[in-house]
Structure 1
């Protein structure tokens, strides 16, 4: 989070010279980067214009996450980031605070989620979609059939027909 903040501070300092609009950025991230884009954007809505998350985890507190392959794979890293031990039976409040779904704010959000994602359970994207809808946050949820994790590894046809056109449309809106 500090790295994103430092980058935005640097971009803002160069805004006039680089013809940028300060605090008017679109954050895009894939997988863990999608999580960071969501968490930073929702925590700093005054600095972020839009968010694009591709296969990003959204809820480290949900039963689906706690019993997923991804939690077993990612919990050592997440507990370092959160600063507290990951204990499935007695989960710290810090893990909820690190979940984008618990920090939703009014930042327009584009979400991509594959229905065959073996790392980030499809319910993660569906849950954030529901939370954004309930809070009337402008968003678009692209639920991709027969699709796994990490769009950069998708075939060219899927990237060219689903990923890129939706990102470009979202940026232009």
Structure 2
């Protein structure tokens, strides 16, 4: 981990590199470490920004996707970020979609990997069970094609979270909110170029979910990674980063802005 966690105005976040902004949003049990490879690779050319979502710290009555989207909006305003490329895994993908619905003028590109919003088999079909380390270890391993990716450090982190009653209440509240917020009927509103990277062996948001996002988002490209599950950027970082790099190169933000300017000039 070669980056610094910063604090400002009540926000904790990573802000590395310079250039077009890649705003990364983690999942329900996610952490900054999920994005290590993305930070290290893309901060050389882009400004990589990752807010720590207050999933476990927000008041239980606010523990919802609406509450998290409001948090992201406040963070983006606080940092005065524009022309965003949103990159979300799992719940973070769901938040990226909802944020784009509400703030289309801020978003120029979107990347979804294992996103919820259509269907999600959360925690392997059950809510987190408190007090059983073996159960948590099994459920964490379930999110990876290769169980060895589920390190003891990662399992310990999830176990600590699920051992707290207030945190578990927030998890359940947010999970129920995600189930209520099915985005299928509104995905036609997404007009920005969208990259979909899916683990072919995803057990949480199966391959069919990737296909459905691809069908419903007009300007989208879908790529599968074999022998990979729910978090491609962790399990297959080299392949994920290559797909992302190639796609970003083919969809530069400046060309879209230049095209809009030329169109305005033609009709002025």
Deviation at 1:171, TM superposition (A): 4.6
3-state SS of paired residue (1:3): helix
Taking a change above 3 Å as real, the CA distance of residues 53 and 171 of structure 1, as seen in their structure-2 partners, is farther
CA distance in 1, matches of 2:191, 2:105: 9
Q: Deviations over 1:30-62 (max 9, x none)?
A: 2221221122113332332221112112314xx
Task: In structure 1, list runs of 5 or more residues that go unmatched.
Answer: 16-21, 87-91
Contact 1:25 1:50 (C-alpha < 8 Å) held by counterparts: yes
CA distance in 1, matches of 2:172, 2:127: 12
Contact 2:198 2:232 (C-alpha < 8 Å) held by counterparts: no
3-state SS of paired residue (1:53): strand
CA distance in 1, matches of 2:76, 2:213: 25
Contact 1:42 1:107 (C-alpha < 8 Å) held by counterparts: no
Select the residue among 223, 226, 231 that pairs with 1:150.
Answer: 231
Select the residue among 104, 111, 123 that pairs with 2:208.
Answer: 123
CA distance in 2, matches of 1:35, 1:102: 14
Contact 1:27 1:50 (C-alpha < 8 Å) held by counterparts: yes
Contact 2:100 2:190 (C-alpha < 8 Å) held by counterparts: no
The structure with the largest alpha-carbon Rg is 2
- Misfit runs of 4+, over 4 Å: 68-71, 76-79
TM-score normalised by L of structure 2 = 0.45
> Counterpart of 1:89?
none
> Counterpart of 1:107?
191
3-state SS of paired residue (1:34): helix
Select the residue among 174, 177, 185 that pairs with 1:81.
Answer: 174
CA distance in 1, matches of 2:171, 2:207: 19
CA distance in 1, matches of 2:112, 2:123: 20
Deviation at 1:80, TM superposition (A): 1.1
Taking a change above 3 Å as real, the CA distance of residues 34 and 70 of structure 1, as seen in their structure-2 partners, is farther
Moved more, 25-34 or 158-167: 158-167
Contact 2:117 2:179 (C-alpha < 8 Å) held by counterparts: no
Contact 2:111 2:195 (C-alpha < 8 Å) held by counterparts: yes
3-state SS of paired residue (2:71): helix
Written as runs of structure 1 = structure 2, the 5 A alignment for 1:44-63 is 44-60=103-119
Deviation at 1:158, TM superposition (A): 2.0
